[in-house]
Amino acid sequence: MSEMYVRAGGQVYGPYSQQQFSQLVQSGRVTPTTEVSTDRVSWVPASTLQAGGAQKSSAGGQRQRVRGSASSYLTELRGRTNYPIYRAVVMIFSILGFIGAALPTVGHIIMVLRFGLEHYFETVRGQEWMIVMPFFMSALIAVGVKFYQECATMIVDFADSTIDHNSRD
């Protein structure tokens, strides 16, 4: 790699020598998602560059990806997911679930506003658990929705990272 160009925010910077480019990467000014080029025609994410610049790895000359943190890799991976519809469905179900989690509490608040606080307590006298139940149900539903969201996201992240890994082999 003789000269590298960096494209960020629609601006092209460079050329940078291999040493200068390595310093940009180490300082964090070039991230795995930053677009780079050697000819200013074809642009690729910096994560697709070979580790150590132009040198090949010792494992049969295969290219190695330069990676930042796990969170930056996940951000990059989610930006080019193979399952955008699945991710959208997970988000929609999560939003609907959180709305559903709030409904029992909102229902009891409406009852209090409609009948008055004194009449509400007369209605539930001897059944005080009815006061706590909507809040408990809301919390339980919210935890369940968050658990579903995290599990579904982990599954699709695993599928995307597997596809990403296999595409490099």
pLDDT at position 68 is 54
Residues 92 and 38 in one domain: no
Given pLDDT bands bounded at 50, 70 and 90, which one contains residue 169? low
pLDDT at position 144 is 94
pLDDT at position 53 is 44
Given pLDDT bands bounded at 50, 70 and 90, which one contains residue 62? very low
Residues 43 and 87 in one domain: no
pLDDT at position 66 is 46
47-71: string of b/e by CB count within 10 Å (b at 16+)?
bebbeeeeeeeeeeeeeebbebeee
For residue 60, tell me if it sits in a domain. Answer: no
What is the reported pTM? 0.51
For residue 98, tell me if it sits in a domain. Answer: yes
For residue 131, tell me if it sits in a domain. Answer: yes
Average pLDDT of the chain, as a whole number = 79
**SS3 state of residue 19:** helix
Share of the chain above pLDDT 90, in %: 16
Residue 86's Cα: distance from chain center in Å?
13
The parent domain of residue 93 ranges over 81-168
For residue 19, tell me if it sits in a domain. Answer: yes
Q: Is the pLDDT of residue 167 over 80?
A: no
Nearest CA-CA partner of 61 in 50, 72, 46, 48 = 50
Residues 21 and 96 in one domain: no
Q: Identify the top-confidence range among 6-15, 48-57, 91-100.
A: 91-100
Q: Is the pLDDT of residue 58 over 60?
A: no
Q: Is the pLDDT of residue 106 over 50?
A: yes
